[in-house]
């Protein structure tokens, strides 16, 4: 009699345990959509933060370009040195973000009165050589350059010069850094397309390598 009662209690306990496990499994199943939803929310928040950071960096680059003197309009060594400092600061940012900033700068300056700033930036960024076959050279903006003018003054036909300096208006300084030394005499030809130049030089020449780096301000 007592044995039957004891076996019955054990059976009830076993049922309770199975029911508890079943309920726990059901509850976990019910919680799954909430967990997934929370994960999706966090992913969206993280993505939004990334977009916000990229937008902030882009705006910072545009501000630097706005504040940068236009090298086409100044021969003052101090101003030109200040331009190189700003270009070096911009160079520290992600390349794709710099491209976005160029597009935004163009959007705000549709007349392209200040696109000389973008030309200097692009030449500074990419590893354009001092000596490059003229037949293969792509300049994208038709500057009438001081180095070619000297050749013409000397009586030389510049259209037959076999090599050209693609890193103009820059030259190397004593310590290997870039100096903004070229003087534009004027421009001619088709409208400058900075984004096309950016993409072409990026693909063909890649980034310029510098020994000294600075931290963006």
Q: Is the pLDDT of residue 152 over 60?
A: no
For the chain, give the percent of residues with pLDDT over 70. 65
pTM, rounded to two decimals: 0.70
Residue 118 counted as domain residue:
yes
Average pLDDT over residues 5-18: 46
CA distances from 201 to 102, 150, 166 (A): 15, 27, 11
State the maximum Cα–Cα separation within the chain, in Å, rounded to a whole number.
Answer: 127
Q: Is residue 108 part of a domain?
A: yes
pLDDT digits (tens, 9 = 90+) for 72-108: 999 999 999 999 999 999 999 999 999 999 999 999 9
Token output for 71: 């090298």
For 13-53, what is each residue's pLDDT tens digit? 454 544 445 545 445 445 455 555 665 665 555 556 667 88
Confirm whether 105 is domain-assigned. yes
Check residue 13 and give its pLDDT.
43
**What is the pLDDT at residue 129?**
92
Residue reference for tokens 């930036």: 121
Tell me how many domains the chain contains.
1
Residue 113: what pLDDT? Answer: 87
* Measured distance CA(4)–CA(167) in Å, rounded: 99
What is the four-CA torsion angle of 38, 39, 44, 49, rounded to 10 degrees? 100
In-domain check, residue 91: yes
119 falls within a domain: yes
Distance, CA of 182 to CA of 173 (rounded, Å): 13
Question: pLDDT for 156-197, tens place per residue?
Answer: 666 667 888 889 999 998 888 899 998 887 777 778 899 999
Is residue 89 within 8 Å of residue 217, measured between CB atoms?
Answer: yes
- The 3-class SS string of 89-149 reads HHHCCCHHHHHHHHHHHHHHCCCCCCHHHHHHHHHHHECCCCCEEHHHCCCCCEEEEHHHH
pLDDT score of 15: 45
Quote the domain boundaries for residue 96: 56-128+166-183+191-204
Q: Would you state the pLDDT for residue 157? A: 62
Q: Is residue 63 part of a domain?
A: yes
Does some domain include residue 106? Answer: yes
């Amino acid at each position: 009699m007592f044995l039957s009662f004891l076996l019955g209690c054990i059976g009830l306990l076993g049922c309770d345990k199975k029911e508890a496990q079943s309920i726990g499994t059901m509850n976990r199943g019910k919680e799954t959509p909430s967990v997934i939803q929370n994960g999706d929310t966090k992913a969206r928040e993280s993505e939004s933060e990334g977009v916000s950071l990229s937008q902030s960096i882009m705006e910072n680059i545009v501000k630097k370009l706005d504040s940068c003197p236009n090298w086409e309009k100044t021969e003052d060594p101090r101003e030109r040195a200040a331009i190189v400092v700003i270009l070096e600061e911009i160079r520290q940012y992600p390349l794709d973000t710099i491209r976005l900033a160029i597009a935004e700068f163009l959007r705000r300056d549709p007349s392209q009165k200040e696109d000389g700033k973008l030309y200097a930036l692009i030449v500074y960024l990419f590893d354009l050589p001092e000596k490059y076959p003229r037949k293969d050279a792509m300049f994208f903006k038709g500057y009438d350059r001081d180095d070619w003018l000297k050749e013409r003054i000397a009586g030389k036909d510049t259209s037959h010069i076999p090599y050209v300096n693609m890193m103009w208006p820059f030259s190397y300084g004593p310590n290997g850094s870039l100096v903004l030394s070229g003087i534009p005499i004027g421009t001619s030809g088709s409208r400058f397309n900075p984004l096309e130049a950016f993409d072409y030089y990026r693909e063909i020449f890649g980034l310029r390598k510098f020994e000294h780096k600075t931290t963006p301000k």
